[in-house]
Each structure stands twice: as C-alpha cells, then as structure tokens.
Amino acid sequence: MVKINDANLVKQFILNSHYLAQFSTDITAQTQLIKFPAQSFIVKESATPEYIYYLVKGRAKLYDVMANGKVTLIDFFTPPCFIGEMELINPASTPYSVQAIEDCWCLAVSIRDNQSQLLNDPVFLKHICIYLAQKNTRNIETASQNQSFSLAERLAAFILLTTYHHHYAEKHTQVAAYLGVSYRHLLYVLAQFVKAGYLVKDKPGYLVTNGTALQELSRDVTNSNR
C-alpha cells in the first residue's frame, strides 16, 4: 500500500472515473490516492478497513477463508467500483479478503473521519444500493453461466480475468469450486488448452501463449456479463 501524493494524477483519476458523481458534495479534499501492488491485500480478512475505496484502475479478487482453512473465491472487482462499502455501513461485519491481481489504484476516503457524512449522503447511498444490486446480479449470472456454458468457455474467460503479465497461477481447487466443476474435469480442460497451444505449463502455473484464441473462446461468456 503506497499513498500517492500527485495532485494531477488524483485529478485525472477523479475525472476519468466519474468519482464525484457518487456523492452529493465535492469530496476531493477528503480523498487520497492509494496504490496496491499486485498480490498485495486491499482488505484483509478480520482486519477492519480504514478506508472505503473506489477502484479506478486494476483488477482484484474477493475471497473467504473458512474455519478449516479452505479458501473460497467469491467475486472479482474491475473499475470503477467501491470496495469496503459493507464495512462502512455495518462496522460489525467481518470483512472478506480483497487481493490485487495486478497493480490497483484506488481513490480512498477515511471511514473514521467521514462515516457520518457518507451515511447521511443520499446520493452516495443510492449508488451503494445500485452497486450492491449489481453485485447480486453478477453472482446470479455466474451461477447461470455455470449451467449455460461449457467449462472450456468459462475457464477461458476466467484465465483472461485473472492473468497477470501473461501468467496464470490460480489454485486449481479454488477455481474448480468457483466454476462448479470437479478438480479432474478442470485439469482435463487445462491439458486441452496446453495441447491446443493456448497455454504453456510452467511453475507455478501457466504462460498464456494465445490470448486471442482464449478471447474468441470466451466471447459468449464475456458478452453475457454486459
């Protein structure tokens, strides 16, 4: 986590992301720009976040660590979107882990200093309600896709979503659970991708060697999310 003290860059992100439209008043003075390097945590489970974040660049994943140590993928974040809104609304809630897939840039507002203002801002609350509804719709779409599209199509989309610098290294057990398939079925399709030249096995994952083919294969899945 690195705080970026660059007024011009902050202004650029605010303008390009329509950030101020999320609030009824100009909140620029209370806003910081924070960069999270790839693989770092934006939010850690069981650690109450200090900020509500507005992701303006980068990709991140949301997951839960169960009592038995099992990790469950829940959702993915792409800009622009809020992160940490549940903890703002309900401080007693237990946060899930949010980890950067690639370098993530977030506009951040201190919860401690601005909670009352935010929770009494009708425009902000309206956008939060819309955002929560969109997340619920996205979860429904994921469940629908698991029944409507082949594993090859869904896995291609998943690989493109989680690849960093042309490298894919998600854990098979977590991916199989997220895509609703068996571990064995997942490995079979990955082997087919390697055979077709889409991927090359390396440690600790795969090198994406034909992203165009994966994009073509995942086109229907991607279009269903729009």
Greater confidence (147 vs 19) lies with 19
Q: Which residues, in sequence order, are bridge partners of residue 52?
A: 109
For the question of whether the overall pTM of this predicted structure is more than 0.75, the answer is yes
Per-residue pLDDT reduced to its tens digit, 164-211:
999 999 999 999 999 989 999 999 999 999 999 999 999 889 999 999
CATH numbers and ranges of domains, the chain:
2-143 (2.60.120.10), 149-224 (1.10.10.10)
Per-residue pLDDT reduced to its tens digit, 46-58:
788 899 999 999 9
Given a contact cutoff of 8 angstroms between Cβ atoms, the answer to whether 154 and 219 are in contact is no
* pLDDT tops 80 at residue 146: no
* Helices 151-162/172-179 angle, 10° precision: 130
CA pair distance 35, 2, nearest whole angstrom: 5
* Helices 183-196/172-179 angle, 10° precision: 100
How does the average pLDDT of the chain come out, rounded? 92
Predicted pLDDT of residue 137 = 83
Per-residue pLDDT reduced to its tens digit, 125-143:
999 999 999 888 887 877 7
